[in-house]
Amino acid sequence: MPVLLPLEQGVNFRDLGGYRTKDGQQIKANKVIRAASLGNLSPKDIDFLAEYGLRHDVDFRSSEEQENAPDKVPTGATYHFVPVFPEDETKSTAKDQRAKQFFTDLQAGFNNMLRAYHDIVLTDSAKKAYRHFFDVLLENSDEGRSVLFHCSAGKDRTGMGAIYLLTALGVDEATIKRDYLASNKYLAPWQEKQLAKRQLPKTGQEIYLTNLRALGSVNETYLETAMNVMQREYGSLENYLHNELALTKLQVADLKKIYLDRV
């Protein structure tokens, strides 16, 4: 099964190797990693990733996120900046006119995430980003070379990237959903530390914390929102991959050759 990488300052770094496909194959280890931000990695972490074979870093974050915490990558790794959104829709910011609702509306954070998952399917920037992601994956044919893809927390934009890749490789839906939801387990300690650092308002503290937890976690309903939009607009997830992300049958076959092994 997939391995949580033992990094000092990296959160939610997971090698997707080990997942089984429906036709009896298995994703290779040291080939594809999903992760949160690379902005806080230690020199030891960077050395670890270099030895792990990291050759491509796909960054789904916005320009503002990138500027606030630039990626730290091993020498020789190629950096790909492909923002899913023009700005981060998966968390609140001071500029967001909806931010004030996080102090008064118990459902504001949850509803914000539903909007983000709706947009992650439909926006042109998201489609362009995930198409580029597949282009990078298809370039990574040498053995022992890894592609890493990430956003800030490694749960939403990264989570959808993992869903698209695992679907293309033929992993079953139940396993894909478990991988998506596993971010809650791996992020929980880090998220609570972040919450503890925040200066809480004098009024509406519980509402505010509830909304921050909704913004900082994944939820089956978030995923269902994305899947329902795909079903309604495009017929299925598979249609979305082929028609909106322009992933051809030949490219799917190539991905399987690069990333799968017979068990």
* Mean pLDDT calculated for residue range 22-31: 96
Angle between helices 249-259 and 157-169 (to 10 degrees): 90
Predicted pLDDT at 130 = 98
Q: What mean pLDDT is reported for the chain?
A: 93
Instruction: Give which of 197, 82, 194, 183 is closest to 134, Cα–Cα.
Output: 82
**Predicted local distance difference test score (pLDDT) of residue 222:** 98
Say what the pLDDT of residue 88 is: 58
Q: Is the pLDDT of residue 173 over 60?
A: yes
DSSP 96-110: -TTGGGGGT-TTHHH
Query: Tens digit of pLDDT for each residue in 60-103?
Result: 999 999 999 999 999 999 999 999 998 755 654 545 556 788 88
Element (H, E) at 88: none
Ranges 60-74, 87-101, 106-120, 150-164: which has the least confidence: 87-101
pLDDT reported for residue 240: 98
pLDDT at 190: 85
The pLDDT value recorded for residue 41 is: 97
Domain ranges in the chain?
A: 3-262
Beta strands in the chain (DSSP E): 3-4, 14-15, 25-27, 32-35, 54-59, 78-81, 146-150, 260-262
CATH code at 3-262: 3.90.190.10
pTM: 0.94
Model confidence band, residue 34 (pLDDT cutoffs 50, 70, 90)? very high
The mean pLDDT value for 131-139 works out to: 98
DSSP readout, 171-205?
A: --HHHHHHHHHHHHHHHHHHHHHHHHHS---SS-H
